[in-house]
Every structure is written in structure tokens, then in C-alpha cells.
Amino acid sequence: MLQKKLTIKILVFLIFSDILETFTQFCFKKSAFSEAAYLPDFFRSAFSSPYLWIGLFSVLLTFIIWSTILSKIDLSVAVPVASFSYILVPLVSIILLHEKITILRWSGIIFIIFGIIFVSLSSKEGEADS
């Protein structure tokens, strides 16, 4: 029923949702700067940060875009492209948050991406069975 072929238009939507997801995580990280151990203090500072609300708006936008994408294309095609955010988030972490990533951690990230691809591929088997 759903098509398997990735068109340019859907690819653009998918990459846009990857960028949005990365932007969301960046905003959340920026909002959670408080070191407060006392939780009410911590959440007061996080929820009063504009970054958090921009991040939440971005979550809503991502949800709408994903609903549109998944109405057009099979999940097993969409998820591998979406897992591109597992590269994008570390890149943004390095460039904008000055985090450090070792070669060992990059290799772990590669494992995770292939893992996600395999987990999503098998959704076809589930459909064939039902």
C-alpha cells in the first residue's frame, strides 16, 4: 500500500525532520544548564528558558512532518534516512557545544545507526505475516 521508493520530495521532508530533531535536542540541551540538585529549582530554571519552549514547538512540528511522511512512505524506508540525526546531533555537539567525541564513540554511533536500520527493516516481515 505504502510506496517503497524514496522520491526527492520525501527525501527533503526527511532531511528537514532530521535537522528539526537535531535543533530540538540542541534547544533542550541549552535549556538544561542548571546544576541545581534540588529538582524544583532545576525545573523552574529549565521551564523558564525560552530554549525549552522553542524546542517543544520544534517537537510538535517534527510530529506533524513525520505523520505526513509516514502517510506517504514505508517506515522501513523512512527510519534509515531519519537515523541520519544520529550523526547530525554529535556534529552539532562538537561545533556548537564544544563537546569532544573519540574515535571509539564514533564507532559506537556507527553501530547504533546500523542497528536502527536493521530494526526498521524487519517491520516489513511483520507486515507480511499479518
The contact set with other proteins (CB under 8 A) reads 1, 25-26, 28-29, 31-35, 39, 42-43, 46, 52, 64, 67-68, 70-72, 86, 89-90, 92-94, 97, 99, 101-102, 104-105, 107-122, 125-126, 129
CB atoms within 10 A of CB 78: 21
Tell the smallest beta-carbon distance from residue 1 to other proteins (Å): 8
Tell the smallest beta-carbon distance from residue 62 to other proteins (Å): 13
* Of the candidates 83, 120, 108, the residue with the CA atom closest to the CA atom of residue 4: 120
Query: Which one, 15 or 60, has the nearer CB to other proteins?
Result: 60
Query: Which one, 15 or 66, has the nearer CB to other proteins?
Result: 66
Query: Which one, 57 or 114, has the nearer CB to other proteins?
Result: 114
Tell the smallest beta-carbon distance from residue 126 to other proteins (Å): 5
21: its cell numbers:
530533531
Tell me the C-alpha to C-alpha distance, in Å, between residue 17 and each of 32, 38, 70, 88, 120: 23, 35, 12, 11, 17
Query: Which one, 11 or 119, has the nearer CB to other proteins?
Result: 119
Say if residues 65 and 23 touch (Cβ distance below 8 Å). Answer: no
**If residue 100 lies in a helix (H) or strand (E), which one and from where to where?**
none
Amino acid at site 81? V
